[in-house]
A and B are shown apart, each in its own frame.
Chain A
């Protein structure tokens, strides 16, 4: 079975542009979470989606948005890119939400560089 897949693997943008990152969860998983990992730091929670509804949001500006599709894949959109948005963006999937010890499985991430 394929794991969590993310595309693209690398991306270079300039300030002010917008970017869309994509994630396909493990087959059978209905929940997708997005994390931002700045170099040298741990991942920070951005969003969680379950059954196409937003179930959690981290402390990120409104320039960040996401959605989940009927097939449970997800997109993360970032508008008006800033240099500080340069980071590894990780997607994680799980079968459900709201269940204790629901394990998260992470993809390899999209490395975004903003110049």
Chain B
């Protein structure tokens, strides 16, 4: 079946790098996404990676994908207090692009 798992909490100091990890089970996953949710808000798409890629960099964000181990990570360089939020990993396959399978979210706490 489809399942996405994340660690629940991460605390870092401002200026450090943050690494948020995610594992998934669906080997037919086509795209993998990272969303950010701030308190009282909806989900903001941060970045995504196609399943035939190993890495994608977008400014302070780096996504690494290990397809063999079905492991995805999001690295945030120079983490700021404004990065404090819940981060969700999600997967989709080509069968239904309106349907994403989300992890339970990782709360990132950035201390000044």
Question: What is the interface of chain A, defined by CB distance below 8 A to chain B?
Answer: 4, 31, 33, 40-45, 48, 50, 55-56, 58, 90, 92, 94, 97-109
Contact = CB atoms under 8 A, between A and B. Distances in A.
> Top 7 nearest A-B pairs by Cβ distance?
A48-B98, A42-B102, A106-B42, A33-B98, A106-B43, A102-B97, A108-B42
Given A42-B4, A42-B104, A100-B30, A94 B45 contact: no
Interface of B: 4, 30-31, 35, 40-45, 48, 50, 88, 90, 94, 96-105
Contacts of B44: 106
Nearest to A4: B42
Given A100-B31, A103-B45, A42 B88 contact: yes
Contacts of B88: 42-43
B99 A105 contact: no
